[in-house]
Structure 1
């Protein structure tokens, strides 16, 4: 019994010694060799003027739209345009049967000639009666009737001229013309169709898309925040043409090759969305933008003179979601600090609180440090240099072998 107890005691002592030895080895492995401090890459912050832009969603709309409708009744004899093609202003699009309107014009011209003949006769009669009434050869009543007949005949001439003008206009309306220059869509009628004046269905639509409108929406809260920053002097308006310039990103992610200008802003907030509509106008010579396309517009808000930019790769998030950075303080020790950011600008965050010029933010070696650790700081570029593709390709080929 004593032998068994002694054996168990020896085993426990041996296991304790082994555990202590393993712990000592692990501590030796974890300790840096020669007591060297971790090396981190940092970037020293400095203030600089930062142009602030806002990216907003929007849609394109035609600069001008004209729905073509007939102004007289009749049968369509022919269509004189190609669907989807370009048309000029006052170019003929349809021909309505003009026979009835030509006959009406001829009849009104004849009525005008008859009225002009009557006015000549009435004027001559009044002229003859004038000396006779002075000698009392004719009565004053007869002379007054002659003057009234002359004036009535003159009025009949004016009425006949108006009828001729109306008939001429109706005859012109049988040639349906394009009111604007642009691209015409599909036709809703064919030859032989009966059309009526001012019908609800348009014969075709013409849209001018060079230039073209881009309507974007901005939240009223964002607008108020911008106005507040301007009032406090945190940012200032961009000067010159830059203040109104707008750039576009298309649906496929490509950049539109033309710069636009902000034309106006609505003064009423949409009650259903809480947003304000802004309208920009863009040149569109290649007709790359079509009405109804979804785009993203970048508008210039202003310039922050003392802007502070921090690379995004140096910013992390705390458990409560706030942005944080690791700093190297004056004692070369790591410090964790919460910051406030306004917006992303390229690969950087615009910081509004928590940092100042001269702070050293850790960009490289974040995995090997913790707050309070003493480190060696080396300045690095804020934007990492891209790998050389000419060297990377042979290395990849060698690995494949």
Structure 2
């Protein structure tokens, strides 16, 4: 009688860095790890969930890692020499491919895709490339385009990000699968306006518009300047409005000068950097979340809505997903101060169903909450 062959092949993930820095893609991948842990923790002993080997190029063993477990094995390749780190990662990946013959390799960044392609294709091992946003929105050099074209699948967060990547790099949209971002409804919750923040930012008796964004001069698409330009028109209807801007960067002096030049300097509050764990209280102090931007998705819109805060976004980007094509919020031309002003005035009047905080929270969590995200990961 033939010996029964063990069919439980694992998967391999290859990333630049996940644990040593903060950012949208890092948060997204950590959510994937958490979902996978939840799936394996709830599995029956005989369920054949796959073991994951996770290779990290720029993270070191000294990084705090809450995801290490019996189903998630992490390998670190941080080195003072960039090329030495890449060589160690490449040789380890090749050894794993030959020894373990994984079911699939997930490449966590376009910059690693050519390496994954070179090693996987000759061995007949399928690979998926994870894309997040603007890193694939422009025409890529040929070696990156070829790595995407030879991938079995391309994973991305929104229709918008998929379409821009396809248009710029001549890719087949059928190759893409969507895994939208998620929001933790246990962490982001509605609440009364925190008194300490009202006092800290001098917001007594005000209506608060809020944006969370990096204030970088080379990355002005978040629309903070557009919202500042919209303030004079908003103040005609709601003179008590203040605009709370959370984030830091070298563009802040320009934005502050713009506010002064428009006569609304005292109405704009630059809060600077706010730790992730303090963001919930800041959402709770807001009457509207305003970011007329160009996003690949826009997790901040989900965070605001989970806190019961109405939202405004741009109308030609990935925010169509979290705002459900405008059903849950206002989508306006992202460089149009007049459109931003008109939408903010509507929001502050509070007469639209999209201002119902409890409804906003329920509808956003229904599609983008932890349960829905975990089920998508299970299916993938």
TM over 0.5: no
Larger relative contact order, structure 1 or 2 (CA cutoff 8 Å, min sep 6): 1
Determine which structure has more spread, i.e. the larger CA radius of gyration. Answer: 1
User: By percentage of residues, which structure has more helix?
Assistant: 2
- TM-score interval, normalised by the smaller of the two chains: under 0.3
TM-score (norm 1): 0.19
TM-score (norm 2): 0.20
User: By percentage of residues, which structure has more strand?
Assistant: 1
